[in-house]
Amino acid sequence: MSDVTAAASPLTTLSEEEEMLREAVREFAESAIAPHVHDMDEASKFHPDIISSFFEMGLMGIEIPEQRGGAGGSIFMAMLAIEELARVDASAAIYVDVHNTLVNNAVLRWGTDEQLDRYCPRLASDMLGAFALSEPGAGSDAFALTTKAEDKGGHWELTGRKFWVTNGAEAEFFIVFANADFDKGYKGITAFLIKRDFEGFSVGKRESKLGIRASSTTELILEGCRVPQENVFGPVGQGYKIAMATLNEGRIGIGAQMVGVARGALDAAIRYTKEREQFGKPIAEFQAVQFQLAQMDTELEAARLMVYNAARTKDAGQPFLREAAMAKLYSSQMADRVTSQCVELFGGYGYSREYPVEKFYRDAKIGTIYEGTSNMQLQTIAKQLLRA
């Protein structure tokens, strides 16, 4: 539980169902995940039984309708779960985030009835998903893809490599983007639904990362990967549209992650400043320290409100591109600042891996990079601004 209770507002006031979800995830994170965080980070390996627990709790199908095996909830509910998990371990939050905001969201929006019937029940119950867009030469320029898709009549063949695939080591289901017609540029990009056991598909190198170390980030290798015609995802040539629309929701999830990471670091710092004594009294009694805590809490609350606003806007069926970009931009920048300041408040101990804040600091850095760098968010916001 946070050491600070925020005043209620229309954005932060939760329904009974939302409050129950938040409390359940918080209790689970503190009891079942927290004891393993250090060891998982050191080993760069997430406990598979925790992923199974995510499915058992219904966290992997929050927005999937009940008739298709999910919880029939909202993106706002997904954000609550992601925030609470990230407050304890960002790696845990990422498994739930990517699966819900990128994979499930895309399948629900773009899948055929047959694809929804075939995949939604399993995505909600036991099949982890991943989203494969990036390549070595296609990062911020996401559509400079070189992975090739060829229509062979009865099936498609994909050849190329994907990098930076979150959940790649454990996922059984992948949304993969490839170009079916390079002469058309980005308008040739097409999405495909790929199972791990498809011929010609394999998972390559796992990255060793600065932060979110327990979360798997891998390469995918496609060597004439054979994909059935019924696994073409959305219209041929519309992959760019699917990717961009999906990433817009994903950015709200990154914002929720960063709010959780910053909250975890700040809570640890508040406890420490009450315990750590210098010059005969706890350092929390020094005004300079109090002001630093107050500034961090203010920035954190502003970020939370931006994330909640973006999620509520999306749930209301309103345009949310600008709100999502702002939430992702500000939350990631805030988390970078707050976790850094928390390390400093711990002094020398903050630099030690025996204390929790250095991990929050490492985990926060990715927020300004993945699912669109800060510069890309600024570009999106500026475009919306100048259209007004």
* Percent of the chain surpassing pLDDT 70: 97
Catalytic residue annotation: 371
Please report which confidence band the pLDDT of residue 7 belongs to, taking 50, 70 and 90 as the band edges.
low
Amino acid at 101: T
What share of the chain in percent tops pLDDT 90? Answer: 94
- Give residue-wise pLDDT tens across range 233-286: 999 999 999 999 999 999 999 999 999 999 999 999 999 999 999 999 999 999
pLDDT digits (tens, 9 = 90+) for 96-121: 999 999 999 999 999 999 999 999 99
Do residues 219 and 204 lie in contact, with contact meaning Cβ atoms separated by under 8 Å?
yes
- What's the pLDDT at 3? 47
Q: What is the mean pLDDT of residues 369-381?
A: 95
> pTM for the full model?
0.95
Burial class (CB in 10 A: 0-12, 13-18, 19+), 8: exposed
pLDDT at residue 19 in the model? 97
In this predicted model, what pLDDT tens digit does every residue of 61-98 receive, in sequence order? 999 999 999 999 999 999 999 999 999 999 999 999 99
Give the whole-angstrom CA distance, residue 383 versus residue 386: 5
Contacts (Cβ under 8 Å, ≥6 apart) of 200: 157, 158, 222, 223, 224, 225, 226
**Which domains are assigned to the chain?**
16-127 (1.10.540.10), 130-237 (2.40.110.10), 241-387 (1.20.140.10)
CA distances for 138 relative to 162, 187, 255, 281, 333, angstroms: 9, 15, 23, 54, 24
Nearest of 189, 198, 190, 201 to residue 232 by alpha carbon: 190
Please report the sign of the dihedral spanned by the C-alpha atoms of residue 349, residue 351, residue 355, residue 358: positive
Question: Per-residue pLDDT for 8 more than 70?
Answer: no
Give the residue carrying structure tokens 């946070």.
Answer: 2
Write the CB contacts of 371 (distance below 8 Å, at least 6 apart in sequence). 247, 250, 251, 253, 254, 328
* 113-163 pLDDT per residue, tens: 999 999 999 999 999 999 999 999 888 887 789 999 999 999 999 999 999
Any idea what DSSP says for residue 15? -
- Cβ count near 62 (within 10 Å): 26
Q: Rounded distance, CA 245 to CA 94, Å?
A: 19
**CA count, 13 A, side-chain hemisphere, 219:** 13
Q: CB–CB of 328/372 below 8 Å?
A: yes
Secondary element (H or E) of residue 302? helix 287-315
Residue 9's pLDDT is what?
Answer: 67
Q: How does pLDDT run across 344-362, given as a tens digit for each residue?
A: 999 999 999 999 999 999 9
